[in-house]
Amino acid sequence: MKDFREMKQRGEKITALRVYDYPTARLLDESGIDIILVGDSLGMVVLGYEDTTSVTLEEMLHHTRAVARGVQQALLVTDMPIHTYDTPQQALQTARKFINVGAQAVKLEGGADHVAQIKAITTAGIPFMGHIGMLPQSVREQGGYRIKGRSQLEAEALLADARAVEAAGAFSVVLEILLADVAKQITNAISIPTIGIGSGEHCDGQILVTHDLIGLFPWFTPKFVSPEARVADEIRTAARAFIERTRGGT
């Protein structure tokens, strides 16, 4: 496991991608990515769910096993799905299940309101990544994916969350869809790295969904993503060529 705090101190940006299968994990690991996260975003981009709230523990364990087989160098982190960390005891039990199938660290959503769960995990010696700001598992209660930190009160609460996560033993924290200035303030205020997604360029690192990065889920692309490839177009082209060649041969 790399010393991500030292990377932050050196100003070296941390790279992370959300991955859900063996070949993609292996390719990204060979490319030198720092962190591979088995995200519960697989609910939308792999399983076809409306959001992450339908993702089960068994589904996450299944995909974590697959990804773990392809990772040799990167730190492998796994999302703990909704309602698998409602209590500190449950959180620790769930974290151990992920470690047992190959994860090296776990992540759950929440800040000061989940300190007990985080401490239960870190006290047991399991590396933990925090996640504050927009919380996808709470998207239905929050009424959609909205930028966080627009008001002074909300910005102060986010900073308190970040400090609480750090104090509870997290080695880093994801900042999802925060106002860029607020993300910058948090990044400067804590000693652990911030990993941004849709939160501006001042975080200590960045994370994206691989499908968004390579254009493999063309039906929706977040506004903050600029795809580096158009894999969906290549798949369609290859499939149509196969269809035409096969039918032409008969």
Alpha helix (H) ranges present in 136-209?
139-142, 152-167, 180-189
How far, in whole angstroms, is CA 24 from its chain's centroid?
Answer: 15
Q: Which residue among 59, 109, 166, 176 is the active-site one? A: 176
Q: % helix / strand / coil in the chain, to the nearest 5?
A: 45, 15, 35
Task: Report which of 240, 212, 185 is spatially closest to residue 20, judged by C-alpha positions.
Answer: 212
Cα–Cα distance for residue pair 133/179, rounded to 1 Å:
10
Cα–Cα distance for residue pair 18/52, rounded to 1 Å:
14
Task: Report which of 157, 58, 173, 59 is spatially closest to residue 107, judged by C-alpha positions.
Answer: 173
For this structure, is 176 an active site residue? yes
Catalytic residues: 176
